Amino acid sequence: MKVVFMGTSAFAVPTLQRIIDSSHQIMAVISQPDRPSGRGGKLTPSPIKELALKYSLRVFQPDRIKEPSAIQQVQAMEADLIVVVSYGQIIPASILYYPRYGSINVHASLLPYYRGAAPIQRAIMAGEKETGITIMYMDEGLDTGDIIVQTKTAIGPNMEHGELEPLLAEQGANLLLDTMAMLEKCQVKRTPQDHARATYAQRLMREDEVVDWSQPAVNIHNQLRALSPLPGGYTVVDGVKVKLFNTRAIEGMSGRLAGEIERADSQGLWVQTGQGILEIGELQKAGKRRMPVSEYLKGNSMKTGDLLV
């Protein structure tokens, strides 16, 4: 099968690798333009572009995929199928519908739940116990196309985004190859989504990173593990941002104010919340490396009764 692959982020890498390793022919890889990165603002290629160049694949990086010139170039690739994984732009119908088998997408949720840009993080934030992968036909809506196949994955109570995303990426890659085999054999069944049940996973915003100590401990725990390892959720200590990692929610109240430190010693850091106590295992001061609480306290003052904001 002749394939055009559209993807950008690291989540898409296992899927592209599986297609490269298969008998399918990749006509081109389409990815977002190189973006400034790091303190020097050096232009950096996407993980997908890097993988494509490693295998000397044709790479196309239009600023806007909806531009007529971009559409013409994609249509000239004469693909049997377009595979889209975490690409990052809305793709026009004139591209989606031209291949023989259409265009299919690997999405990291059990659609119609968590449509949108941040399905993994938002599912963890919401305290979901289960998520998964959906392979769907693409249409002009936002993750609204007919479902081809789904697979479920448990989310452990302490599982972080950094653990769950690569797991889902590998599952999505395997499921995509199975789907392509079904397409070639004309064995695919389309299941329309129940749009009335749809929920949306809004793109992460700066305000999502800020800890609100008036919230229950379990909510803060879910927020922090959804943001780990990057971008990380933070509180402010003596006017300095400090990111919090490796947390646990503990039931019970200490009688202290929300945000007040209950305990700070070599055994751990406990902070009172609006409901319950948050145990924190690792800290990262702005501009410094991430470290265990016991090590952090050797060079930074945090004590019982201090108030975090």
Q: Using omega within 30 degrees of 0 as the cis cutoff, is the peptide bond preceding 292 cis?
A: no
Share of the chain above pLDDT 90, in %: 95
User: Are 121 and 248 within one domain?
Assistant: no
297: pLDDT strictly greater than 80: yes
Exposed/middle/buried for residue 305 (C-beta within 10 Å: 0-12, 13-18, 19+): exposed
Number of domains in the chain: 2
Residue 169 within any structural domain of the chain: yes
Q: Does residue 305 lie within any of the structural domains?
A: no
Task: With respect to residue 308, please indicate whether it lies within any of the assigned structural domains.
Answer: no
Whether residue 112 has a cis bond before it, omega within 30° of 0? yes
Q: Which residues contact 264 (CB under 8 A, 6 or more apart)?
A: 270, 293, 297, 302, 303, 304, 306
Residue 153 belongs to some domain of the structure: yes
* pLDDT average, residue stretch 275-302: 96
Are residue 152 and residue 227 in the same domain, yes or no? no
| Mean predicted confidence (pLDDT) in 268-281 | 96
Task: Look at residues 201, 223, 238 and tell me which one is the last residue of a structural domain.
Answer: 201
Question: Which CATH number belongs to the domain containing residue 187 in this structure?
Answer: 3.40.50.170
Domain final residue, candidates 179, 201, 223:
201
pLDDT, average across residues 275-289 = 97
228 and 104 fall within a common domain: no
> The domain containing residue 9 runs over which residues?
2-201
Does residue 309 lie within any of the structural domains?
no
Q: Are residues 107 and 175 in the same domain?
A: yes
Residues 195 and 263 in one domain: no
In a shared domain, residues 13 and 121: yes
What tens digit of pLDDT does each residue of 53-69 get? 999 999 999 999 999 99
Do both 144 and 90 map to the same domain?
yes
What single letter denotes the amino acid at residue 140?
E
The enclosing domain of 275 has a CATH number of 3.10.25.10
Please give the pLDDT value at position 141.
95
Q: Could you tell me if 119 and 180 lie in one domain?
A: yes
pTM of the model: 0.95
CA distance 146 to 245: 38
* 220-235: pLDDT as tens digits: 999 999 999 999 999 9
Count of positions (residues) in the chain: 309
Burial of residue 66 (CB within 10 Å: 0-12, 13-18, 19+) is middle
Write down the H helix ranges in the chain: 13-21, 47-54, 68-75, 93-96, 119-125, 161-184, 217-226, 293-299
127 and 185 inside one domain: yes
Tell how strand 291-292 and strand 277-285 pair up: antiparallel
> Which tens digit of pLDDT belongs to each residue from 162-207?
999 999 999 999 999 999 999 999 999 999 999 999 999 999 999 9
Q: Enter the DSSP assignment of 273.
A: -
Domain final residue, candidates 136, 168, 201: 201
- Let me know whether 219 and 176 are in one domain: no
User: Is 187 in the same domain as 216?
Assistant: no
Residue 30 lies in a domain: yes
Q: pLDDT grade, residue 40 (50/70/90)?
A: confident
One domain, residues 188 and 216 = no
